[in-house]
Chains A and B, each alone.
Chain A
Amino acid sequence: DGGITQSPKYLFRKEGQNVTLSCEQNLNHDAMYWYRQDPGQGLRLIYYSQIVNDFQKGDIAEGYSVSREKKESFPLTVTSAQKNPTAFYLCATYLQYTDTQYFGPGTRLTVL
């Protein structure tokens, strides 16, 4: 997991609530990514950011929002508009020219 922290590890949410998942890194990597993983599925990209104060939508951005106010932090908000938010959420960083994505330990979100 090396230098990427995600919190909380487990999160329970009632329907209709917004929740924010934290991702912090001390690797000094420029790019950060949020993925969602459903049981038996690969990873699907939600949002990504290559520099501070800039981010782009991934393949499944609807119902999610992000911010990138500082290099170390890339929080993800799961809004009430996300119809099926129960999943395993993974944050990753990428250092250009190393061709390696580094993953955090993940947050498992369950909607009750």
Chain B
Amino acid sequence: QKEVEQNSGPLSVPEGAIASLNCTYSDRVSQSFFWYRQYSGKSPELIMSIYSNGDKEDGRFTAQLNKASQYVSLLIRDSQPSDSATYLCAGENAGGTSYGKLTFGQGTILTVHP
């Protein structure tokens, strides 16, 4: 099993719909998770972080973490064409003294069409 794996996509949703992005992780990844958005040709930007079981909401974005099932998801409500990007899931490596060391999933391409 890959340490962090995202549903392959690409994902296409109509404007105004809910986009659902999913990610599963292995035991080598700790309980800290991050969602990054990356526009084509640009660097990733952090949009959500989540550490505890349950939901975390920030505007139109909701991150969900389920430690028992080892998955983390990102919901985007009222999707806009400007949300069209690649979304990267990342988990912080477990154990050791290497803080901030992240493992990334392969990314999911989201397209929001008008």
Contact = CB atoms under 8 A, between A and B. Distances in A.
Given A99-B34, A101-B46, 17 more contacts: A31-B100, A33-B100, A40-B106, A41-B106, A42-B4, A42-B88, A42-B104, A42-B105, A42-B107, A45-B102, A45-B103, A50-B98, A90-B43, A99-B32, A103-B43, A105-B43, A106-B43
Contacts of B44: 43, 90, 103
Interface of A is mostly: strand
A45 to B, nearest CB: 7
Q: Bin the interface of chain B by size.
A: 20 to 34
B80 interface: no
A101 B98 CA distance: 14
B88 A43 contact: yes
Most buried by A among B4, B44, B92, B100: B100
Interface of B is mostly: strand
B45 interface: yes
B60 interface: no
Interface of B: 4, 6, 32, 34, 42-46, 49, 51, 88, 90, 92, 98-107
Contacts of B106: 40-42
Contacts of A96: 99-100
Contacts of A99: 32, 34, 49, 51, 92, 100
Contacts of A48: 98, 101
Interface residues of A, number: 24
Nearest to B44: A103
Contact of B100 (A44, A90, A94, A104): A94
